[in-house]
């Protein structure tokens, strides 16, 4: 089909509650000649804000070609209107690119370059679905993830570190490091173990955490301190301490695109960058990946939510030379339950096959989803 002859005719959203904490939010654009494309706009408890933003943006897209729609979104000042607006923009960008790649007859990722990886390493984020937060509870979940085909996993065991005093943070971190040790004992040394801190520490307590975790050989520590411009020097010091114990430092999941990442990468704040496709957008994520490659850094996208952003991120990783691994939410819910072929997100020996068909390469079964009109 001539891409210029395809115009956007309708837009709709679908909601899928999956747990007490998470509700997936998807968007579908429909075009002339039966064209369709999907994107994900999950913002959980703030999904209502995203739906408002989708309604504002989707009305403008009606009647536009795919190219016109992408140009229109690129001109929007997402930084001005807040995170929900940016997430809505990204979901619509995903859907437009899904349509365009289907019409071109190429996989979604191939829109950004030749495929480098037919399979991509992945890891299980076991945090959100772990109800029993004791060391033994973490270990059971970790063992189950490994038995389910993962060779790497990430945990965030520092629920008790919720204080501002550095001394109190150091005193409270040992419950989390004990859980990491129990998990390491459960899964053995051949499983990569990543530790997410959710920005609960300060410089001094983060360095103490690095020392406390050194014997467990985590592949990386993620988000130990708040990630803003004023924290860059602290991150560089934490990275130096981590690297001296052969641990890498990861971060950046809430940085809003290449302009936000640039000072962190220039200063050497991270070993691994975690751009989130919802926040950076599709093109923005690829720009961050290009920056990372220039600085010799690895890319491991933040991807803890639903199946559409997971598959879109998987496609992008297939064309990124610096691709390291892809995060997958593990059994907080059946993340792939709405996919006609759930095996798209089923790892084999720690790797996911990148769909080879046009577009994102999956179909969504909307029977169990709640439809939301956007106009």
Q: What angle, 0 to 180 degrees and rounded to 10, lies between the N-to-C axes of helices 66-74 and 47-61?
A: 130
Q: Are residues 44 and 159 in the same domain?
A: no
Count of beta carbons in the 10 Å neighbourhood of residue 17: 12
Phi, psi of 12 (to 5 degrees): -150, 155
Q: Are residues 86 and 122 in the same domain?
A: no
Identify the domain containing residue 249 by its residue range: 111-353
Buried b (16+ CB within 10 A) or exposed e, 338-347: bbeeeebbeb
Q: Are residues 15 and 73 in the same domain?
A: yes
Nearest to 7 by CA among 40, 34, 31, 27: 31
Residue holding tokens 């690095």? 210
Q: Are residues 84 and 176 in the same domain?
A: no
- Report the pLDDT value the prediction gives residue 1, as an integer from 0 to 100: 58
Structure tokens at 105: 């007859």
Domain CATH for 235: 3.20.20.120
Structure tokens at 44: 């959980």
Q: Are residues 115 and 102 in the same domain?
A: no
DSSP state of 364: B
Q: Are residues 241 and 266 in the same domain?
A: yes
Count of beta carbons in the 10 Å neighbourhood of residue 211: 13
Q: Are residues 49 and 124 in the same domain?
A: no
- Report how many domains make up the chain: 2
> CA-to-CA distance for 258 and 234, rounded, in angstroms?
21
The verdict on residue 134 lying in a domain is yes
Domain CATH for 63: 3.30.390.10
Structure tokens at 15: 């909601």
CB 123, CB 194: distance < 8 Å = yes
- Report the pLDDT value the prediction gives residue 335, as an integer from 0 to 100: 67
CB 248, CB 210: distance < 8 Å = no
Q: Are residues 136 and 24 in the same domain?
A: no
> CA-to-CA distance for 257 and 275, rounded, in angstroms?
8
Alpha helix (H) residue ranges in 62-107: 66-74, 78-81, 83-104
- Report the pLDDT value the prediction gives residue 204, as an integer from 0 to 100: 97
> Which residues of the chain fall below pLDDT 70?
1, 334-335
Q: Are residues 179 and 99 in the same domain?
A: no
- Report the pLDDT value the prediction gives residue 19, as an integer from 0 to 100: 82
Q: Are residues 280 and 191 in the same domain?
A: yes
CB 227, CB 199: distance < 8 Å = yes
The verdict on residue 360 lying in a domain is no
- Report the pLDDT value the prediction gives residue 49, as an integer from 0 to 100: 96
Residue holding tokens 């943070």? 169
Q: What is the pTM of this model?
A: 0.95
Question: Mean pLDDT in the chain?
Answer: 95
Structure tokens at 20: 């007490």
List all residues 6 or more positions away from 50 whose beta carbon is below 8 Å from its beta carbon. Answer: 25, 41, 43, 84, 87, 88, 91
The verdict on residue 358 lying in a domain is no
Q: What is the 3-state secondary structure (H, E, C) of 7-70?
A: EEEEEEEEEEECCCCCEEEEEEEEEHHHCEEEEECCCHHHHHHHHHHHHHHHHHHCCCEHHHHH
> CA-to-CA distance for 104 and 163, rounded, in angstroms?
53
| CA dist 226 → 206, 254, 279, 292 (Å) | 11, 10, 17, 20
Q: Are residues 258 and 299 in the same domain?
A: yes
Q: Are residues 72 and 142 in the same domain?
A: no
The verdict on residue 359 lying in a domain is no
- Do β-strands 220-222 and 192-196 pair in parallel, antiparallel, or remain unpaired? parallel
The verdict on residue 262 lying in a domain is yes
> CA-to-CA distance for 9 and 21, rounded, in angstroms?
33
């Amino acid at each position: 089909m001539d891409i210029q002859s395809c115009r956007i005719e309708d837009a709709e959203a679908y909601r899928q509650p999956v747990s007490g904490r998470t509700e997936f939010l998807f968007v579908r654009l429909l075009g002339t000649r039966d064209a369709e494309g999907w994107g994900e706009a999950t913002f959980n408890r703030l999904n209502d804000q995203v739906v408002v933003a989708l309604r504002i943006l989707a009305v403008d897209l009606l009647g536009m070609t795919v190219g016109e729609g992408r140009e229109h979104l690129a001109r929007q000042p997402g930084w001005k209107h807040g995170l929900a607006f940016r997430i809505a923009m990204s979901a619509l960008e995903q859907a437009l690119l899904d349509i365009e790649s289907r019409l071109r007859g190429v996989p979604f990722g191939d829109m950004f370059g030749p495929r480098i990886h037919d399979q991509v390493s992945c890891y299980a984020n076991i945090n959100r679905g772990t109800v029993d937060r004791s060391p033994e509870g973490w270990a059971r979940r970790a063992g189950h993830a490994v038995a389910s085909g993962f060779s790497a996993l990430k945990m965030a065991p520092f629920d008790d570190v919720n204080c501002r005093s550095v001394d109190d943070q150091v005193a409270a971190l040992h419950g989390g490091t004990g859980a990491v040790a129990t998990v390491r004992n459960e899964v053995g040394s051949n499983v990569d173990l990543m530790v997410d801190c959710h920005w609960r520490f300060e410089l001094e307590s983060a360095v103490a955490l690095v020392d406390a975790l050194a014997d467990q050989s985590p592949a990386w520590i993620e988000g130990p301190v708040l990630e803003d411009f004023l924290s860059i020097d602290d991150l560089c010091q934490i990275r130096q301490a981590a690297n001296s114990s052969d641990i890498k430092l990861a971060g950046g999941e809430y940085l809003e695109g290449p302009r936000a990442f640039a000072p962190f990468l220039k200063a050497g704040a991270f070993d691994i960058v975690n751009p989130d496709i919802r926040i950076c957008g599709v093109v923005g994520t690829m720009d961050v990946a290009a920056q990372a490659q220039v600085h010799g850094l690895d890319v491991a996208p933040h991807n803890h939510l639903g199946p559409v952003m997971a598959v879109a991120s998987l496609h992008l990783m297939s064309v990124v030379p610096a691709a390291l691994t892809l995060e997958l939410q593990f059994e907080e819910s059946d993340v792939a339950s709405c996919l006609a072929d759930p095996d798209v997100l089923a790892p084999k020996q720690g790797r996911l096959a990148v769909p080879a068909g046009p577009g994102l390469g999956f179909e969504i079964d909307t029977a169990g989803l709640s439809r939301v009109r956007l106009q």
